[in-house]
Chain A
Amino acid sequence: MKNDLDVVFKALADESRRELLDRLRTENGQTLGDLCARLSKSGAVMTRQAVSKHLAILEDANLVATIKRGREKLHYLNPVLIHEIGERWIGKFERSRLDALSTLKKELEAKNE
């Protein structure tokens, strides 16, 4: 079934697929062509076939949602399952403390650069 967690974690256990999710987070609703063009611009090595295969795996895991617009297929980051995973292991009252920790980490690491 589509929201099987094994499928989700398998899909996430690949650097290229996480890279694609990052790209969609930066710019949502890209076509396969948009993604490939931006990847090659930034010097990433991923063939169009590989991108297409990874997108299919991400879509199957429901981490990417697609909308058809004319002949184009637009890809969107679908964070609903990632949200549910977070919900499962983050307690109701821990969220604000975790947010504070994560902000602190980001600030300190930015200063080190």
Chain B
Amino acid sequence: MSKQSFVYVTYIKTTPEKLWAALTDPAMMKKYWFGAFAETDWKPGSAWSLRFEDGRIADAGTILEAEPGKRLVIRWRNEWSEEIKAEGWSRCTMTLELYQGIMKLTVHHELEGDGKKFIEAVSGGWPRILSNLKSLLETGSVAYETKA
């Protein structure tokens, strides 16, 4: 079990279309991702990058799968920290499912091999981002405006 992996699940009162838009629309992303946004055309095989508010590249990789309203898989590597970048590639799978009339969003982020810095970055980041996303879709505003 040397492979590091995390799973986060959140239930959001919204529709598959709205959740998909929130996950893929840069303007929507900025609202709950502390100003960060993705740059890609969301087609399998296309380049993907996650950019900070000021445009610097935070993470980069490739779209592996994209099925609107259902599933998104990204090959993902950190770009801003040499230390985390050296820990190598990860794979992030987002699954959207309808569950009792609301949406279940599962984020499964896996790193090949060991990665201490990567673990810190992932486990510190996703819970806040997902809380913000849920709050944005359900109430129209987020809990965290900026990264503390």
Chain A residues engaging chain B, CB cutoff 8 angstroms: 1-3, 27-30, 34, 62, 65-67, 74, 76, 78-80, 83-84, 87, 92, 95-96
Contact = CB atoms under 8 A, between A and B. Distances in A.
Contact of B127 (A3, A27, A66, A83): A83
Given A2-B100, A29-B1, A80-B126, 10 more contacts: A1-B11, A62-B10, A62-B11, A65-B9, A67-B7, A76-B5, A78-B9, A79-B127, A80-B9, A87-B143
Given A62-B11, A80-B8, A87 B148 contact: no
A33 to B, nearest CB: 12
A84 to B, nearest CB: 5
A87 B131 contact: yes
B12 to A, nearest CB: 9
Q: How large, as a class, is the contact surface on chain B? A: 20 to 34
B111 to A, nearest CB: 12
A78 B148 contact: no
Given A29-B5, A62-B11, A80 B108 contact: no
A29 B1 CA distance: 9
Contacts of A1: 11, 100, 102
